[in-house]
Structure 1
Amino acid sequence: MYRKNVLGALFALGLMTAMSARAEVLFAQANFLLNKNQLSAVNYRGKGVAIPVGAKVAVVERDDDEIRCKVMDSGTEFRFVTHRSLGKPINVLFAGFFAEQDPAARIAALSPEDQKQVRAGELAKGMSREAVLLTVGPPPPHRTPSLQGNRWTYWSSKFSTFEVEFGPDGKVVRIGDEPVAPAPPPPPVEKTYYHATANFHFDDGTVSWVNYLKGPIIPFNARVEVLDKGSSSVKFKVVETGAELEFENDARSGSETWKLFQAAFALEDQAAKLQALTPEDRKKVSASEVEPGMSREAVRMAWGPPPPHETPSFNSSTWTYWKSKTSKVRVKFGKDDKVASIE
């Protein structure tokens, strides 16, 4: 009887040794926390029994829903489980937690400070991505699809999360509920201003391409800011007054709206052109008046370009303007290119 018992014990011991030899032994790739002998692929980072990084773990059994394991040093048994929201097979997720490679070499490649944090299982600012992975493991892929992202989201529990944020250098700059540093304001956009090339009249918020000689005036060289460009109109604002107006075109002009607008409002400051006139012409331009003896340039500044459908060329001896839709005024030039008469 005694001999049979001894033989039975030896057989059982040999069987256990053989099973142990065949067991799949892996290394913990980070510090993980067990909750009631369960390790979720969500990788909850709240409270629990710790499995230290580098710990040897034997895989006892695998199936589609869970993987049963045993921590070899402590003998603690646990179940690795997944969640359908993670969107990956359990074996793929498990490989991010436990692998054949001992992480000791990865830890040794870190800076001394990062090595301390990994061993302590604690996150700190300045840690590298690799150090974070070795400290707390991978973030759940449904909220952090790429480890190249600047923010990794972890779960403290089923109801709370925290973020680990990395800076441009790949080092941790924020952990948990610390306020997100505001993004630097974008550089101010330098506005583009146009300058009135003449005195332009407007009526009921509209500047006509005809430039009817009635109504309030946008003075020569006034700065304007374009607000919107359309096929038949250009909306703009007079910088000095804040008045928002609309430059309107119609089929009679035979020209594109933007081309007409640019003839009326140019990018270049017009002050030098005004100074090039005679003192008398400058006074007339400032008063929006045209009188005999004025040069073509002065007339152009005082009343604007004559509508091209009746004055196709600035070299014409007669420029035709409109005081209203039914009343015209003609400026005739002499051989000296000075105003000879106004009719």
Structure 2
Amino acid sequence: MRFRNAVPALVAIAIATAMAPAIARQAAKTEGFLCCNMRSFDGEVYDINYDDEGARIVPFGSPLTVTKQGRRKLRLLVDGEKHVIENHYSRDLSDAEFAARYVVAEDPRIAAAGFPEKIREAIASARITPGMNREQVAMSLGWPVSSENPDLDADVWRFWLGSFEEIQVEFDAAGLVVDASASPLTRRKIWLP
């Protein structure tokens, strides 16, 4: 008789234990800052960060709250607006690694305040300029998707502003931007000479 009464309790414990990670993901709200300029179209943000018509830039350093993290999606509240960052092209990253790219604990605007004026101007306008380091490029253009950039120490980072608007940002041995290869129109959008 004691065993039969224990079975429902054991089942309830097993279910609660199995559901704990999912409940924790839903219940945990993390405060932080947006790592980089991200393009949002009606609250939808994709890891590839396309410059679609009608998209607006949510600026790097924006204070945010992570309201939910699920499979390949990060739900945020930024200045009272809901946003979802979706992982379409960096699926080799775990959900935690993906979130860590975009949500940072320290406000990146504090570090940016000490950058040279031209670099601050480039980041504020979501562009790049010679002499930027990798962190500054990420602040400005977002992280390059891992499916095309598995090694963040590589000499070239590939970005896409649209389906046919590829950008290749070239770094020197010291990790500083020396040039960017793109079509003339795309280059004008992102390059600050």
On the 8 A contact 2:35/2:104 being kept in 1, the answer is yes
Unaligned regions of 5+ residues in structure 1, if any?
Answer: 1-21, 180-343
Residue 106 of structure 2 is aligned to residue 101 of structure 1: yes
Aligned residues: 156
Q: 1:35 to 1:124 in 2, by over 3 A?
A: same
On the 8 A contact 2:119/2:128 being kept in 1, the answer is no
Q: 1:85 to 1:119 in 2, by over 3 A?
A: closer
Aligned counterparts of 1:168 and 1:94: Cα–Cα separation in 2? 29
2:96 pairs with 91, 97, 100, which one?
A: 91
1:28 aligned partner: 34
Question: Percent same amino acid at aligned positions?
Answer: 22
Aligned counterparts of 1:84 and 1:129: Cα–Cα separation in 2? 19
Q: Could you give the per-residue CA deviations for residues 279-299 of structure 1, whole angstroms, max 9, x where no partner exists?
A: xxxxxxxxxxxxxxxxxxxxx
Q: Match of 2:117, as an amino acid?
A: P
2:49 pairs with 43, 49, 62, which one?
A: 43
TM-score of the aligned structures, taking structure 1 as reference length: 0.42
Higher percent of residues as helix: 2
Aligned counterparts of 1:93 and 1:107: Cα–Cα separation in 2? 22
1:299 aligned partner: none
Alpha-carbon deviation of 1:50? 1.2
Q: Using CA pairs below 8 Å that are at least 6 residues apart, which structure has the higher relative contact order? A: 2
Alpha-carbon deviation of 1:178? 5.9
On the 8 A contact 1:107/1:134 being kept in 2, the answer is no
Q: Could you give the per-residue CA deviations for residues 196-244 of structure 1, whole angstroms, max 9, x where no partner exists?
A: xxxxxxxxxxxxxxxxxxxxxxxxxxxxxxxxxxxxxxxxxxxxxxxxx
| RMSD between superposed Cα atoms in Å | 2.3
Q: Match of 2:132, as an amino acid?
A: M
Give the greater-gyration-radius structure (CA).
Answer: 1
Q: 1:178 to 1:172 in 2, by over 3 A?
A: farther
TM-score of the aligned structures, taking structure 2 as reference length: 0.70
Alpha-carbon deviation of 1:39? 1.1
Unaligned regions of 5+ residues in structure 2, if any?
Answer: 1-27, 185-193
SS in 2 for 1:96: helix
Q: Could you give the per-residue CA deviations for residues 110-137 of structure 1, whole angstroms, max 9, x where no partner exists?
A: 2232122222222123322222122112
Aligned counterparts of 1:119 and 1:33: Cα–Cα separation in 2? 13
